[in-house]
Structure 1
Amino acid sequence: MARNQPVEVLLRPAVELYTVAACAGAAFLCIAAPWSLALSPAMGAGSALAFSTFGVIRLRDARVILRYRRNIRRLPRYLMTSRDVPVSQQRLFIGKGFLWEQKHTHRLMQTYRPEFRRYVEPTPAYRLARRLEERLEFAPFPLSYLPRLTSWDVPFNPIRPLPPVGGLPRLHGIEPEEVDVSLPLSERVGHSLILGTTRVGKTRLAELFITQDIRRKNHLGEHEVVIVFDPKGDADLLKRMYVEAKRAGREDEFYIFHLGWPEISARYNAVGRFGRISEVATRIAGQLSGEGNSAAFREFAWRFVNIIARALVELGQRPDYMLIQRHVINIDALFLEYAQHYFAKHEPKAWEIIVQLEAKLNDKNIPRNMIGREKRVIALEQYLSQARNYDPVLDGLRSAVRYDKTYFDKIVASLLPLLEKLTSGKVAQLLAPNYSDLNDPRPIFDWMQIVRKRAVVYIGLDALSDAEVAAAVGNSMFSDMVSVAGHIYKHGIDDGLPGASANTKVPINVHADEFNELMGSEFIPMINKGGGAGIQVSAYTQTLSDIEARIGNRAKAGQVIGNFNNLIMLRVRETATAELLTKQLPKVEVYTTTIVSGATDSSDIRGSTDFTSNTQDRISMSSVPMIEPSHIVALPKGQAFALMQGGQLWKVRMPLPAPDPDEVMPADLQQLASYMRQSYTESAHWWENLGSPVLQDDPLPDDLLDETPTATATTTINEEIQNNEAAP
């Protein structure tokens, strides 16, 4: 096969096989009957070797043609167990593929030409087999067995059905020579955006990345931090994380936070850790709408929560949602408690005057704006208006109390629904943990602790059950993470510990599945400035419109997209999303051939020539886009275009997961995974089976009864079940 021709044509008959057959016959004659070719036995052996060598060369060329034609219709299977996933200290493995170049655009355009249809489209026998399967599905015996034979998925079945991945195999089959595609770890700090419509492999790609992140070690033997946000709750993702953590010996550092099953979930206080006290108000008020007239109410809610948080810190109490809700509803109690704390230190005799003022109060001399308040609160406010002391926290509480109570309830009305969502039912135990309850086996974690322990965290937000709570908790966690990233950037992760170094940083791998459901204004600074603290975000979503609809601002959506340096795009259905990739690619020159044929009559009746004919193959060049949005729409499941490393376009297909019998989970996590499958696989029936999983009474293996957070929680739950069964 000539390789130096300007126009490459691989969709053609493998004519090299004729040469191979001729060489094989000549070599046989040279060995078996050299006399028939007038050769001596020695010359016959040499000639046979020469014919065989040339035949092997032509056979290799023929295999290229045959392999190319096979891949155009059906790609070879690509399976891999999680144990076989390569883990490198330098690169992140993505799958098999090739670097897309001009020749691939040329080959792809050839597959759409009518003269090559018979090499690209399914054969008539294949189409006939599929029609028979449809018609004979309910046929009587023995005709009902014919579809089983035609659909038998074995290599020697020439009409077996294609894999159920859809799309066009030609998009990847145009390059038979695949290589392992990977992303340098130094590029991950620029963050990665993975786009793809539902059920095309985003979560499976996330499993591939998370597997490597959990198992990776640096040159010192230290693991990396892995944090996964899963709004909808994918049971296979949870299973993969636990199995990989156990294989890596990290099950002691494996945390599960799940809003849907608080009985076995770890606990987390989203506002309990902060660098500046104002962060508490930012994380709560940030969940409120800031559009139009709501902006004023949001600003007041921020100020009011900030006043409460400052007072709680001065009183030595850790802020949480429950405390803030309690004092939003009744600010008078906090006002009195803080005043007692302040006067005990600065004016011990102030209460005597306040009691005297309280005794003089009646319905006639109470100010109108203080109607409905306790008399002790009114007396305290009157004393502070006359006393010459200044305390910013006390003055802030006093300004809140001086509002008319009816008016005050109206302006905090937007804040109370949010706090109700975060403090209702058993969710309150997770988001407002009781630090002094030593009988609760569920661990309490914060992000600095997670980073220092190099832990693995699964965040299940149960968005199908309550999207509002899921978004609020997710935003609070993102905001908390930004605060921790700022602290790490300035002081390192070991700040405050003996021998701490300000330059100590570790990779913090954050995987946010369906991140458009969680993101808010807090997400932008995390991807914009979090790289300096080691945060590496991999965000997964369906379309650009999801991001814009969530933020509500096209400019901010563009700001989010602009902070992702690596783009991996699976099949999408929105043209605007596909153009995010295609518009960043250059145009390329491709060759086209045109057949020109003509005949010219001769006007000389006495000449020897009556007419002349002419047939030409003309080669021209045209400029076309490297890929079109329609190609991205037609991608099979599990395949993607990856734009990374400064604009290099790679065509990738990820490995399909192969079953591994060694993957075992504890009984409580098995029950949780099974209920997650029941609750979340069919989103149309998400309202069914939302109760907490009932764990089986089977005892756990001895190796799972260690004093780990998961094992301890399992033991406690099993004991509670046994006690409930023994109760009358």
Structure 2
Amino acid sequence: MGQRHAVEVLLRPAVELYTVAACATAACLSVIAPWSLALNPRLGWAAAAAFSAFGAVRWRDARVILRYRRNIRRLPRYVMTSRDVPVSQQRLFIGKGFRWDQRHTHRLMQTYRPEFRRYVEPAAIYRTARRLEERLEFAPAPLPRLVKLLAWDSPLNPVRPLPPVGGLPRLHGIEPQEVDVTLPLGERVGHSLVLGTTRVGKTRLAELFITQDIRRRNAAGEFEVVIVFDPKGDADLLKRMYVEAKRAGREGEFYVFHLGWPDVSARYNAVGRFGRISEVATRIAGQLSGEGNSAAFREFAWRFVNIIARALVELGQRPDYLLIQRHVINIDALFIEYAQHYFARTEPKAWEIIVQLEARLNDKNMPRNMIGREKRVVALEQYLSQVRVYDPVLDGLRSAVRYDRTYFDKIVASLLPLLEKLTTGKIAQLLAPNYSDLDDPRPIFDWMQIIRKRAVVYVGLDALSDAEVAAAVGNSMFSDLVSVAGHIYKFGVDDGLPGAASGIKIPINVHADEFNELMGDEFIPMVNKGGGAGVQVTAYTQTLSDIEARIGNRAKAGQVVGNFNNLFMLRVRETATAELLTRQLPKVDVYATSLVSGATDSSDPRGNTAFTSNTQDRVSSTSVPLIEPAHVVALPKGQCFALIEGGNLWKIRMPLPAPDPDEIMPTDLQQLAGYMRQRYTDAGGWWESQGVPALQEQTLPADLMDDFRQMTNGNEAAAP
């Protein structure tokens, strides 16, 4: 075999088949006609056994060459149903592949040499069949039937078309011996980054990981937490999650949060739960710009929201976006309400003096900085200026109402657009739920509750319809999750529960598809320090430029990427993104052979030698990168390079999905998945989008539907 020599050449004729044919012929002769080989019958059987054994060895060597040449052009089909996905308590299944080393770089370099072109490129008969398909497509009948025959996807078809995955099959075909590639679960705490351009298999890889995370149990029989952020809304991903949750018996802990369909969505208060009251202001003001002159406005917005949140908590009210927006617009009402609450506990007779001061106020004696404020607010300010009251919340509210009204509106101008995004329309019902409304069947959840219940959550953010609102909600959820992770890191999951053991942590699997659309500064501590709380982030995006463009800072983008220990690189179109992988790999030596021949004339006219000649086979080595960015760009769909387990490079291909017969969903989720398929189209077919789902016509009132039908019938009757 070629593998036993310094220079390995597998792209060659299978010359071992000649030996196999000779051994088979000799074995037959030894049995049928041993006299032809000067053997007696007993020795003939012994010789036949020897010939057969040697022929089997050479047949095995020939099969390696034949399979290698076949894989270079077409890989074996790899299909798996979700039911067959292996789920382990120790490892995460990724697909089939091999560990890439110097041998594979050498083999790949050989495929680009001109003398091996006939083994790499499709055969002439295959190219002829594809040209006939193009020409016969619009030919008169019955010739188009021949096109279906040529395109028949069956092993019986000698010109069977290649699967529509593009790329270069040779990148994976250079290693015939595939193995199941897995990642130790202990490595997932270091977080994983999946890079790949649109429609190359990121969602399929996410489905593979999420399926295992939903069905995995630990030694005690407990499930893991699974949280999936899906900005664009993939109906197939939602369906896969529900089917796997039901298969694992977890449909009771399955939550769907979707901004595009609030009527069937669970509800969530991003600022309703906190460890420290200052976290409310951090989650809201943290989404404002902090660059340049905006930093001062951001700091003021943080202080102002913190004042409002502290007052709401003292009043026994749970903060939410609607309450905060209401008091940002009108701080006077909160000031009066909190003053009533405070003086009712400390000085019940203070209101008599305040009412007397309010009665004396008019336009002439109103302080200039308080013009536009309610008279009771001015009276409260005058009373507090005369009476020494030391209450931090009341002092904060008092400092807010002292500002001139027009000046105050200017400095909170950057805060109001964010709150408008989060409280407009039916979204306000999702992000500011009414806890006292017992008639609303939609559940309310928070991250600590989800983690304690070991629940499965699908978060659809409807980014295709409104990217601004999706980013704002996603940032709020990330910030809340970071806060919960900090609490778990310090006290454990069951802190505060009776009989709870301190310090218990469980795996929290966070899958963030298109995470560049959701991330902000709060995402950095999640990947930097969340591992200590059991948070295992798997992030999916297209390019490094997406991360940098979102954060707006190259150093911070590098900080985010540097916290991902596992890298899965699918096909990308940006060279800088491909170099994130290739620059971390060493260079290796590849060998090449060259034939050198020459002749030398003799200068001695009386000599017996007229000339001398020589022929040499030279072996040279060249140092080349283990893989080039061009190889990453040429990956077929569903294949990737993976840098895992401390920098080991693996070449992996994922299994193609096969439909399961028992994929049943409840009626409301079926409708939601149907709406999502109608609303969300692939980027390649955006011109075919119908806009609003057709089912919205049925949501109109009955009288409007009758008027619409009458108008339509009248127009049809009037038409010639």
Q: TM-score scaled to structure 2, two decimals?
A: 0.96
Shift of 1:4: 2.1
Shift of 1:725: 11
Shift of 1:111: 0.3
In 1, Cα distance between equivalents of 2:516 and 2:697: 33
Matched, 1:313 2:313: yes
**Which residues in structure 2 correspond to 1:377-456 (within 5 Å)?**
377-456=377-456
Aligned match of 2:597: 597
In 2, Cα distance between equivalents of 1:268 and 1:419: 16
In 2, Cα distance between equivalents of 1:368 and 1:691: 55
In 1, Cα distance between equivalents of 2:2 and 2:577: 40
Q: Deviations over 1:530-556 (max 9, x none)?
A: 001000000000000000000000000
Shift of 1:3: 3.5
**More divergent stretch after superposition (486-495 vs 629-638):** 486-495
Shift of 1:608: 2.0
In 2, Cα distance between equivalents of 1:646 and 1:722: 64
In 2, Cα distance between equivalents of 1:29 and 1:15: 22
Code of the residue aligned with 1:517 in structure 2: it is: E
In 2, Cα distance between equivalents of 1:605 and 1:234: 87
In 2, Cα distance between equivalents of 1:691 and 1:64: 54
**More divergent stretch after superposition (150-159 vs 251-260):** 150-159
**More divergent stretch after superposition (380-389 vs 626-635):** 380-389
Aligned match of 2:362: 362
- Residues 671 and 695 of structure 1 are in contact (CA less than 8 Å); yes or no, is this contact kept in structure 2? no
**Which residues in structure 2 correspond to 1:162-201 (within 5 Å)?**
162-201=162-201
- Residues 215 and 223 of structure 2 are in contact (CA less than 8 Å); yes or no, is this contact kept in structure 1? yes
Change (3 A) 1:564 1:115: same
Shift of 1:678: 1.7
In 2, Cα distance between equivalents of 1:34 and 1:587: 57
In 1, Cα distance between equivalents of 2:198 and 2:306: 41
Matched, 1:229 2:257: no
Q: How many residues align?
A: 704
Matched, 1:682 2:682: yes
**More divergent stretch after superposition (180-189 vs 493-502):** 493-502
- Residues 671 and 693 of structure 1 are in contact (CA less than 8 Å); yes or no, is this contact kept in structure 2? no
Tell me the SS of whatever aligns to 2:650. Answer: strand
Code of the residue aligned with 2:59 in structure 1: it is: L
**Which residues in structure 2 correspond to 1:131-170 (within 5 Å)?**
131-170=131-170
In 1, Cα distance between equivalents of 2:679 and 2:599: 73
Aligned match of 2:9: 9
- Residues 482 and 530 of structure 2 are in contact (CA less than 8 Å); yes or no, is this contact kept in structure 1? yes
In 2, Cα distance between equivalents of 1:264 and 1:187: 37
Matched, 1:50 2:46: no
Aligned match of 2:495: 495
In 2, Cα distance between equivalents of 1:310 and 1:219: 44
Tell me the SS of whatever aligns to 2:228. Answer: strand
- Residues 513 and 540 of structure 1 are in contact (CA less than 8 Å); yes or no, is this contact kept in structure 2? yes
Shift of 1:145: 1.7
In 2, Cα distance between equivalents of 1:197 and 1:577: 10
In 1, Cα distance between equivalents of 2:434 and 2:694: 22
Code of the residue aligned with 1:45 in structure 2: it is: W
Shift of 1:156: 2.2
- Residues 491 and 501 of structure 1 are in contact (CA less than 8 Å); yes or no, is this contact kept in structure 2? no
- Residues 679 and 693 of structure 2 are in contact (CA less than 8 Å); yes or no, is this contact kept in structure 1? no
Matched, 1:293 2:290: no
In 1, Cα distance between equivalents of 2:398 and 2:69: 81
Change (3 A) 1:694 1:217: farther
In 1, Cα distance between equivalents of 2:688 and 2:535: 33
Identity %: 82
- Residues 678 and 693 of structure 2 are in contact (CA less than 8 Å); yes or no, is this contact kept in structure 1? no
Tell me the SS of whatever aligns to 2:306. Answer: helix
In 2, Cα distance between equivalents of 1:723 and 1:69: 70
**Which residues in structure 2 correspond to 1:230-245 (within 5 Å)?**
230-245=230-245
Q: Deviations over 1:361-396 (max 9, x none)?
A: 111111101001111110000000111111000010
In 1, Cα distance between equivalents of 2:241 and 2:258: 14
Aligned match of 1:33: 33
Q: Deviations over 1:105-157 (max 9, x none)?
A: 00000000000000001111111111111011011122222221111111122
Q: Deviations over 1:257-280 (max 9, x none)?
A: 000000110000000000111110
In 1, Cα distance between equivalents of 2:374 and 2:694: 43
Q: Which runs of 5+ in 2 are unaligned?
A: 707-720
**More divergent stretch after superposition (257-266 vs 670-679):** 670-679
- Residues 255 and 458 of structure 1 are in contact (CA less than 8 Å); yes or no, is this contact kept in structure 2? yes
Aligned match of 1:664: 664
Aligned match of 2:711: none
Shift of 1:613: 1.3
In 1, Cα distance between equivalents of 2:674 and 2:19: 60
**More divergent stretch after superposition (429-438 vs 594-603):** 594-603
Tell me the SS of whatever aligns to 1:189. Answer: helix
- Residues 191 and 538 of structure 2 are in contact (CA less than 8 Å); yes or no, is this contact kept in structure 1? yes
Matched, 1:543 2:543: yes
Q: Deviations over 1:676-718 (max 9, x none)?
A: 112112343698444596699xxxxxxxxxxxxxxxxxxxx9x
In 1, Cα distance between equivalents of 2:142 and 2:693: 47
Change (3 A) 1:657 1:5: same
In 1, Cα distance between equivalents of 2:417 and 2:645: 46
Code of the residue aligned with 1:430 in structure 2: it is: L
In 2, Cα distance between equivalents of 1:601 and 1:658: 71
Tell me the SS of whatever aligns to 2:49. Answer: helix
Aligned match of 1:344: 344
Change (3 A) 1:723 1:447: farther
Aligned match of 2:129: 129
Tell me the SS of whatever aligns to 2:162. Answer: coil
Change (3 A) 1:321 1:685: farther
Q: Which runs of 5+ in 1 are unaligned?
A: 697-716
In 2, Cα distance between equivalents of 1:131 and 1:692: 41
In 1, Cα distance between equivalents of 2:504 and 2:389: 45
- Residues 464 and 686 of structure 1 are in contact (CA less than 8 Å); yes or no, is this contact kept in structure 2? no
Aligned match of 1:653: 653
Tell me the SS of whatever aligns to 2:434. Answer: coil
What is the Cα-based RMSD across aligned positions, in Å? 1.8
Code of the residue aligned with 1:330 in structure 2: it is: N
Q: Deviations over 1:642-675 (max 9, x none)?
A: 0011110000000000111111111211121122
Change (3 A) 1:691 1:119: closer
**Which residues in structure 2 correspond to 1:212-227 (within 5 Å)?**
212-227=212-227
Shift of 1:5: 0.8
In 1, Cα distance between equivalents of 2:139 and 2:689: 39
Shift of 1:312: 0.2
In 2, Cα distance between equivalents of 1:497 and 1:184: 32
Shift of 1:721: 11
- Residues 192 and 566 of structure 1 are in contact (CA less than 8 Å); yes or no, is this contact kept in structure 2? yes
In 2, Cα distance between equivalents of 1:193 and 1:282: 27
Q: Deviations over 1:304-351 (max 9, x none)?
A: 111100000000000000000110111000000000000000111111
In 2, Cα distance between equivalents of 1:437 and 1:598: 96
Code of the residue aligned with 1:8 in structure 2: it is: E
Change (3 A) 1:725 1:501: farther
Change (3 A) 1:56 1:514: same
Change (3 A) 1:2 1:335: closer
Change (3 A) 1:167 1:600: same
Tell me the SS of whatever aligns to 2:190. Answer: coil
In 2, Cα distance between equivalents of 1:25 and 1:152: 38
Aligned match of 2:628: 628
In 1, Cα distance between equivalents of 2:496 and 2:121: 67
In 2, Cα distance between equivalents of 1:682 and 1:118: 37
Code of the residue aligned with 2:448 in structure 1: it is: M
In 2, Cα distance between equivalents of 1:693 and 1:342: 53
Code of the residue aligned with 1:224 in structure 2: it is: E
Code of the residue aligned with 1:449 in structure 2: it is: Q
- Residues 672 and 693 of structure 1 are in contact (CA less than 8 Å); yes or no, is this contact kept in structure 2? no
Code of the residue aligned with 1:627 in structure 2: it is: I
Matched, 1:584 2:580: no
Code of the residue aligned with 2:648 in structure 1: it is: Q
Tell me the SS of whatever aligns to 2:94. Answer: strand
Structure 1 ranges of 4+ moved more than 4 A: 685-688, 691-696, 720-726
Aligned match of 2:99: 99
Aligned match of 1:277: 277
In 2, Cα distance between equivalents of 1:348 and 1:213: 58
Code of the residue aligned with 1:329 in structure 2: it is: I
Q: TM-score scaled to structure 1, two decimals?
A: 0.95
Q: Deviations over 1:21-76 (max 9, x none)?
A: 00011011011111111111110011011101111110000000000000000000
Code of the residue aligned with 2:577 in structure 1: it is: T
